Structure 1
Amino acid sequence: MPFDAFSIAHLTKELNEHLRNGRIDKIYQPDKETVIIEVFHPFPRRELQLLISAHPQFYRAHLVTEKPENPLRPPAFCMLLRKYLQGGRIIRLEQPTWERIIRLQIEVYDPEAGLTTFSLVFEAMGPNSNLILVNGEGIIVDALRRLAETTQREREILPGKPYLPPATPGRYHPANLTRAEWERIFQFSSGEQAIGTVLAKEIFGLSRPLLEETMQRAGVTTTMAVAEATTDLLRRLYDEVIAWHRRIAKEPVCFLYLDPSGSPLDFFPYQPLHLPAERLEPIADVNSAIVATLHRRNQEAVYQQKRAELKSIIKKAIQKAAKKRARQQAELTSAADAETYRLYGELIAAHLHEIKRGQTELVAPNYYHPQAAEVTIPLDPVLSPVANSQLYYKKYNKAKKGLEKIRAQLERTEVELEYYASLESALENSLSFADLLEIEAEMTEAGLLKAKNQPKQQTNTPVKNRPSLFRAADGWEILVGRNNKQNDQLTMKTAAPHDLWLHTQKIPGSHVIIRTQGKPVPPDVLLAAANLAVYYSKARGSSKVPVDYTERRHLRKPTGAPPGFVVYNRYQTLIIEPDPEILARLGAIDPSVQ
């Protein structure tokens, strides 16, 4: 992504137009790498949100419209920024020439010191990106990332230390490079070196895409060596390098670079000639381009990371519950020996006169067996015959009591595994980030995640996201829950008694409701709903899937049952072959997947 010096120059101009003279109302830090500054601008009256991210891959600064989820306890750096900058006025934003740095100059009134000025310095340096608050004397107040001086690092980023800008990788950039210096660079370069390598080493401010574009416009191939370049070619190349500085003063023409599927992959504040024109799409400005690429990709990465974390937790919970079930099944098998213990006690009591102390076993006919088959009963030689009989009766009573208990435990474990499978199935659906947060909240309530510190009134927040709505033939409404919380809401509160409820038989998946309004459901609508039930379940991709359906009034939720769990005994079953054409007509899948 070319969030480079050239892009930053145009972005800084755009942000100045929006933010200059704006008052800082609020400051948030939604995560450890991102700060959002809420700005009120009086002329014209509007509220703006500036996002600054020091993410190692998606570092950027731009305006956003959506308000992010914020921690209830702000991080220390956020509190510090509020202390020094909240209520301040943004005087201007500036960029040191051809540096990947944006400085926000902020004027703040202090009752004791009067007007004071702070610089909020954003260094867009890839993995070394940082956000640093510097006072009017050039001293660091604090930084998003504190860095001590090391043998690999020449400067300290610590409170109380003078702020020093990062060292530049070269002496020259497009604004200060003279023709004589240009000629000297190539005069002392090895003829075997690639021209692109020389430019990347000697001239800073040119990102790789900008370097490729410069060489393309000058007619220099990426593999051309210094020895192959003619004087005329080097002159053209020099003109193209310094032309970038003149282009900063002009209005940029922004383009998105699309991937083969048409999604924004990259952005450029110029028309890149080194890329195929059919994959380029114009966009209004640099800020919009950053939102469509870097910001979107960052959100997708956060989404995928969150979903992977939740999947991992559920997988571990399933493995733990499966081990518990195996242990309980073994205990159940052991407890099932209760009748054997009773038989042994009875047979010993019936043959007390035949048993001598010290005997290790008793062979006696089993009078419950049709052929009176002989049974070999182990005896404790230390105990008397009566004590041996009593021992087996004690084992029988213990096993009998444990049998019911273990059966109840095993039943709860089966419900637990079914619940975890439903969570796993929900995470396979196409979800928004808000849906993921609902699932995360549900997992917290279920004890799968540690509860975050939050006020008591927020612990039981209602379902915010609505189930997905699909329309079948003749306008029939079909609702699909995207997670267990939505399933509960949809089935137990939204659906009417005579609405039709569908679910894959004994397979985790979404609850599906057909809004009947008391009318009989046409076969094609029932089939459409059944297809949705299969698609939003763990049976997706299978064939001949059984789908149960019944009226909502026949469902009940047992006391204490987990979210999304219902029981029913009056139902019909439809076995279907999933049809992509039906799903495409409903809008559940893209028609191209057919």
Structure 2
Amino acid sequence: MAFDGVTVAALVKEFNTTLKDGRIYKIAQTESDELMLTFKADKSQYRMLLSANASLPLIYFTNNNKPSPMTAPNFCMLLRKHINNGRIVSITQPGLERIVDFEIQHLDELGDIKIKHLIIELMGKHSNIIFTDDNNMIIDSIKHITSVMSSVRQVLPCKPYFIPDTMDKHNPMEATRESFMETVFSNAMPVSKAIFTSYTGISPAIAESLCFENKLDSSMPANVLAHGDQNLIWMSFYQLINRIKDGNFTPLIYEKNGKPEDFGAVPLSIYGDCTATNYESISLLLEDFYSKKNLYTRMRQKSSDLRRIVSTALERDRKKYNIQLKQMKDTEKKDKYKVYGEILTAYGYSIEPGTKKFETENFYTGEPITIPLDETLSPIDNAKKFYDKYAKLKRTGDALIDIIKTTKASIDYLETINVSIDMATSEHDLKAIQQELVQTGYIKHKKTNNKKEKNLSKPLHFVSSDGFDIFVGKNNIQNEELTFKVATGNDWWFHSKTFPGSHVIVKANNSELPDKTFEEAARLAAHFSKGQAQDKVEIDYIQKKHIKKVAGAMPGFVIYHTNYSMNISPDITGIKEI
């Protein structure tokens, strides 16, 4: 993600605008590596999350609160002692580092004015929250770093605080044309990498965008770039830095197929194929982005058992299916053995005993044919042997027709389950899928109490631009209910032609549907299918009265014979969800 120095600069601007001369009202340590600070400024109250989590370091304003432990940790108690009710003097960012420095004025035990600094470093596994005095001496930190843990810097009480310069990066806010040209274009690494490895706070996404907006190949070695192209990169970089200095930020979240891809405090041209959503505040953006990401990650974790069950069953069925197809191909030899038997029966009298092969004319095609013989058997017994092979292969082929059909249906069904799992947004959705797998025999039923659990998972509900209700099934049980219980004869049914996916029902209310509604329903059917990543998906649509349930088939499987089709994008941006 692009939690880079530019994002931190946007946060620092927002914090200064909101908190300058405000006071710290409340301090809580909600996790071992996380603080929740409450500020009062301009007669308003603001809550800020500061997290030094190694995998997801964060800082932003939030409206959400988290419960604190009954006994406050030592670091929290120390902060309360020193800076509770302290006044915010300044909030700064050194260079374009991923560091925020809160300068706080407070009164000590004797009533004298003192200055302290609360510094959060947002540097991946090296993230920390450090409390120092005005002489850059560490008072304490939320994580203690000893010399055993790091040879670069110790973060311990009474040790000096400094920003380690381990990457030999330059401050982009001080870059000149001459220094930029010398720093970036003097090495053989790719252009984009040369930019983000040379300057602090510049993310790979920003470096890639600087190349992309100038129509340059970011993988080209920097030292072979033409002088004119070098100048284009410098001008884009210069404009970016001036934009940061002026505080001209445009918080944007980039989404693809409804899922958050990335965010930026400035526009990122490499995400031109994504849907960009503008936010008034960088804090609102971060809270929204990470809540969506956390939901996606959490659902992936919670669905892991179901995914494993489905993946195992799919792998087994696909292996069976390939073996069955090979066996079916082998049965194609049966007609050859039948012809061998018939020719030997017709001409066997002319074959000498002990003959190893018989060459004659195939009386069906008129072409020469060579029949291998078992010299220990008579021609008639050889004929009987070929008839037996024919009969065995015919029985196998007849049996395989149904077996292959069943195995293919199982594969198709399990692929629809994978789509359902991807669509799940709550534990209720996963529970419904689990119940479906129990019902269809893929999960063994565990005996529980006799009370039937209420299914709280509901289909998705959208409203078209023309005001028609559109329902989307999240799993096969819901698909079947929508198609055969919710939909009536003149309602319209949509489904991907080639990919497993959701049934989409448009309630027509005995009215003619406008073209716009047809298109929006088709986009929903494309989006909620396995073809979601395609540019275009072919969608079948038909009135519900022409849909038939397949007797004995898995839930959600239907048949229809006359339908309309359209190719459409799976982008559902702008379709209102209820």
TM-score (norm: length of structure 1): 0.52
Task: Answer whether contact 1:175 1:242 (CA < 8 A) is retained.
Answer: no
C-alpha displacement of 1:58: 2.1
Deviation at 1:211, TM superposition (A): 0.8
Name the CA distance, whole Å, in 2 between partners of 1:278 and 1:284: 19
Summarize the Cα distance change of 1:164–1:303 in structure 2 as closer, same or farther, 3 Å threshold: farther
Cα pair 2:191 2:220 within 8 Å, conserved: yes
- Is contact 1:24-1:85 (8 Å) kept? yes
Gaps of 5+ in 2: 307-422, 433-446, 457-472, 488-502, 506-524, 529-555, 557-578
1:76 aligned partner: 74
Equivalent position of 1:452 in the other structure = none
Aligned to 2:117: 119
Could you say what secondary structure the match of 2:213 adopts?
A: helix
Mapped partners of 2:85, 2:299: distance in 1: 33
Cα gap change, 1:580 to 1:16, in 2 (>3 Å)? same
Matched, 1:255 2:198: no
**Residue 153 (structure 1) shift:** 3.2
Contact 1:264/1:292, CA 8 A, preserved across alignment: no
Find the counterpart in structure 1 of residue 204 from structure 2: 208
Alignment-mate amino acid for residue 3 of structure 2: F
Q: 1:94 aligns with which of 72, 75, 92?
A: 92
TM-score (norm 2): 0.53
For residues 132 and 82 of structure 2, what CA distance do their matches in structure 1 show?
10
Q: Which residue of 2 aligns with 1:579?
A: 481
1:505, 1:163 → 2: CA distance? 59
In 2, Cα distance between equivalents of 1:243 and 1:3 = 20
1:19-43 residue CA offsets vs partner (Å, 9 max, x unmatched): 12222121112222221001122x2
Structure 1 residue 283: deviation in Å?
1.9
Counterpart residue number, 2:231: 235
**Counterpart Cα distance in 2 of 1:268 and 1:65:** 21
Q: Give the drift of 1:61.
A: 0.8
Q: Map 1:36-115 to 2 at 5 A.
A: 36-41=36-41, 43=42, 45-112=43-110, 114-115=112-113
Q: Output the amino acid matched with 1:17.
A: T
Cα deviation 1:394-440 (Å, max 9, x = unaligned) = xxxxxxxxxxxxxxxxxxxxxxxxxxxxxxxxxx996589xxxxxxx
For these two proteins, the number of residue pairs brought into alignment is: 347
Distance in 2 of aligned mates of 1:222 and 1:112: 60
* CA shift for structure 1 position 13: 0.6
TM-aligned CA distance change 1:112 to 1:584, over 3 Å:
farther
Q: Is the 8 A contact 2:49 2:59 kept in 1?
A: yes
Structure 1 unmatched runs, 5+: 312-427, 434-479, 481-503, 514-534, 544-576
- In 1, the alpha carbon distance for the partners of 2:66 and 2:504 equals 30
Would the aligned equivalents of 1:174 and 1:244 in 2 still touch at CA under 8 Å?
no
* SS of corresponding position for 1:274: helix
Q: Summarize deviations over 1:437-478 as a string: whole Å, max 9, x none.
A: xxxxxxxxxxxxxxxxxxxxxxxxxxxxxxxxxxxxxxxxxx
The 1:578/1:200 distance shift into structure 2, 3 A limit, reads: closer
Alignment of structure 1 residues 147-186 onto 2, 5 Å: 147-150=145-148, 153-167=151-165, 169-185=167-183
TM-align CA RMSD: 3.9
- Structure 1 position 152, deviation (Å): 5.0
Q: CA deviation at 1:243?
A: 2.1
Amino acid at match of 1:243: Q
Amino acid at match of 1:26: K
Correspondences of 1:351-370 after superposition (within 5 Å): none
Whole-Å separation in 1 of the counterparts to 2:144 and 2:197: 29
Contact 2:184 2:198 in 1 (8 A): no
Deviation at 1:583, TM superposition (A): 9.0
Secondary structure (helix, strand or coil) at the match of 1:202 reads coil
- What amino acid is the match of 2:59? A
TM-fit CA distance, 1:214: 1.3
| CA-CA distance at 1:170 after TM superposition | 2.7
In 2, distance between residues paired with 1:225 and 1:310? Answer: 45
Equivalent in 270, 278, 281 of residue 282 of structure 1: 278
- d(CA) in 2 for partners of 1:583 and 1:123? 56
Q: What whole-Å deviation, never above 9, does each CA across 1:526-580 have from its counterpart, x for those lacking one? A: xxxxxxxxx99xxx9679xxxxxxxxxxxxxxxxxxxxxxxxxxxxxxxxx9624
Kept after mapping to 2: 8 A contact 1:8/1:100: yes
Partner of 2:569: none
2:111 & 2:304 partners in 1: Cα distance? 49
Task: Say if 2:195 is the partner of 1:195.
Answer: no
Describe the SS at the equivalent of 1:55: coil
CA distance 1:253–1:187, shift in 2 (3 Å): closer
For residue 140 of structure 2, what is the aligned residue in structure 1? 142
Instruction: Provide the residue aligned with 1:510 in structure 2.
Output: 453
Identity of aligned residues (%): 20
Q: Pick closer, same or farther for the CA change 1:127–1:582 going to 2, 3 Å.
A: farther
Matches of 2:303 and 2:84, distance apart in 1: 37
Q: Deviations over 1:117-160 (max 9, x none)?
A: 11100101012111111112211111111101248531110011
Q: Distance in 2 between matches of 1:25 and 1:304?
A: 38
Kept after mapping to 2: 8 A contact 1:58/1:295: no
**Counterpart secondary structure, 2:270:** coil
Quote the offset at 1:178 in angstroms.
2.4
Deviation at 1:64, TM superposition (A): 0.7
- What secondary structure does 2:172 align onto? coil
Aligned to 2:267: 271
The answer to whether the aligner puts 1:25 opposite 2:22 as a matched pair is: no
Letter in 2 for 1:66: N
Aligned equivalent of 2:213: 217
8 Å CA contact 2:299, 2:425 repeated in 1 = no
**1:195/1:70 Cα in 2 relative to 1: closer, same or farther (>3 Å)?**
same
- How far apart are the structure 1 equivalents of 2:107 and 2:159? 23
SS at match of 2:173: coil
* Residue in structure 1 matched with residue 347 of structure 2 by the alignment: none
1:126-137 pair list within 5 angstroms? 126-137=124-135
SS of residue paired to 2:94: coil
1: CA distance between counterparts of 2:149 and 2:29? 31
Q: Is the 8 A contact 1:584 1:590 kept in 2?
A: no
AA aligned opposite 1:65: N
Matching residue of 1:470:
none
